[in-house]
Chains A and B, each alone.
Chain A
Amino acid sequence: MGDLATYSLADFVAVTPEVYLRLFARQNVQLWPSQLVTVVIGFVLLYCARCKDFRYGHLGLAVVWVWSGITFHFNLYAELNWAAIYFGYGFFGQALLHCLREYVGSRQEEPEAFEWNLGIAVAGFSLILYPLIVVVFGNSWTGIQLFGTAPPTTALATVGFITATRRPRWFLMIIPVIWCAISSLQCLAMGLYWGLIPGVVAVGAVMTAFFEDRKTDG
């Protein structure tokens, strides 16, 4: 156990920043033009969340989590990082949870206004602004990280959708927040500081929603 203290974050990242960023570019090239479908799904989900009618929305999220898991983790990242297969299984697990959530239905409660606004803002940011931030920081357009294919964007948008929709929902937050944190820590280790955004925003949104829930319940 004493050895663990000698490990730094960089010891757990087996790739260079160049290779990591090219993963997204390769994914985009391989999948083009199917990203258009998953991005449209994202905007449809955003519309549904905004209308406070998220029926079948969880099925849409289940589809994108499976798609992202297969096309990124299993198909690309797994050849570079032995842990990627487990990340991929985690994404499948999240998809199952969304299916379960769709099956269980929701309590007849409107989402609180603050959480609804917060969730919409996070989801909208993920769909529109975060992919552009990646390009703004000097990366190629081909490596744009879109909802439905790129894991960090998909996970962060999911945090937004779940925050904006009805309970029960905390069990749906676990994997997306964990992935946002892993992704951000990887980027931190590689010096890609803009990559901290998903982790910071996801944790911030979840904590805010949690304390708002407690205030409301209390």
Chain B
Amino acid sequence: MSDAQISRRTMLGGMLGGLATAALWPPSLFAGTDRKLITEPIPSTGEHIPVVGMGTWQTFNVGNDRRLRDARTQVLKAFFELGGSVIDSSPMYGSSHEVVGYGLDKLDKHDRVFSADKVWTRSDSEARPQMEETKDEWGIEFFDLMQVHNLLAWEKRLPMLLDLKASGHIRYVGVTTSHGRRHDALEKIMRTRDIDFVQLSYSLANREAEQRLLPLAKERGIAVIANRPFRQGHLVDRFQDNNHPLPEWASEFGCNNWPQFLLKFIVSHPAVTCAIPATTKVEHMRENMLAARGALPGDKMRERMIGYVESL
């Protein structure tokens, strides 16, 4: 066998191997990940978390449907591969807890998750068991963040959570609202209680929190998680499905699509720590997570973004 033949065989084998690897490797999944992951510090400790996390309302509530559980696990896989860690859930979300736990087990990512759960019960006797059940389902030793869901019985739940934090059973304490509800009560809690996080609705179409709550969070050193960044997909549908063009200048801060435009607006607010969009699709997870990379719009650009959306 001549050197030339060996050389051609080797070259051919290498090419075939490369083609096989390319076929198996999803390059589109990782395009754009060369840009640095953007993180924000949690004010109370300085710990950094990525500015885009993952919500699980509706999207992970698939019950024992094995096919859909596996599909959601692929979404979770993409989430972690693209640098995600914050996963937000609640007992109110049906089987979302179990499905997240299923995915964490399959992927063996229990140590990668920044677990953000909620306590959701009026019953004092049910609160701890509810939290323990979720902890078991996720296969974690303790929750990073435990929140009082929609301020339900917060007068009793918040002291309980603060006690748990003091004894080392949870790391951070927070409260949540959504849809712009109960902002007065939320403000009162932010002013008078020593909490680490608030979760509220904030998006380009819902900027009420800019008036009082976001400045107050900044002032009090409280991290902010923004829920409903897409208003359950309606915002994306409104712009994308109606063929509204993305402005050319969106590329100046690395935006290629409307989900990234909407997310970058939210997480570029100085008081916002993390946004938690929810999705059932790997491709959408990729779009969302790429919003946590590259540049963020500054104040002037944010004004421009508001003006553009209002003009549509």
Residues of A within 8 A of B (CB): 3, 6-7, 10-11, 13-16, 18-19, 22, 26, 76, 79-82
- Quote the shortest CB–CB distance from A133 to chain B (angstroms): 24
User: When the two chains form their complex, are residues B65 and A26 in contact, meaning their CB atoms are under 8 A apart?
Assistant: yes
Count the A-B residue pairs with Cβ separation under 8 angstroms: how many? 46
- Quote the shortest CB–CB distance from A142 to chain B (angstroms): 12
**With A10-B232, A15-B94, A16-B58 given, is the CB distance from A79 to B280 under 8 Å?**
no
Smallest Cβ-Cβ distance to A22: which chain B residue: B65
> Which B199-251 residues have a C-beta within 8 angstroms of A?
232
- Quote the shortest CB–CB distance from A42 to chain B (angstroms): 27
User: When the two chains form their complex, are residues B93 and A14 in contact, meaning their CB atoms are under 8 A apart?
Assistant: yes
Contacts of A81 in B (CB 8 A): 94
Q: Complex formed: what's the CA distance from A100 to B221 in Å? A: 64
Apart from A14-B57, A82-B94, 13 more pairs, CB < 8 Å: A6-B179, A11-B179, A13-B58, A14-B58, A14-B94, A15-B58, A15-B94, A19-B65, A26-B65, A79-B95, A80-B62, A80-B94, A81-B94
Instruction: Fill in one digit per residue for B81-101: 1 if any A CB lies within 8 Å of its CB, else 0.
Output: 000000000001111000000
Instruction: Fill in one digit per residue for B45-63: 1 if any A CB lies within 8 Å of its CB, else 0.
Output: 0000000000001110111
Contacts of B68 in A (CB 8 A): 18-19, 22
Main secondary structure of the interface of B (DSSP, over half): loop
**With A10-B232, A14-B94 given, is the CB distance from A19 to B179 under 8 Å?**
no
User: When the two chains form their complex, are residues A79 and B64 in contact, meaning their CB atoms are under 8 A apart?
Assistant: yes
Rank and list the top 5 A-B pairs by shortest CB-CB distance, nearest first: A79-B63, A80-B94, A14-B94, A80-B63, A6-B181
Contacts of A79 in B (CB 8 A): 63-64, 94-95
Smallest Cβ-Cβ distance to A13: which chain B residue: B58
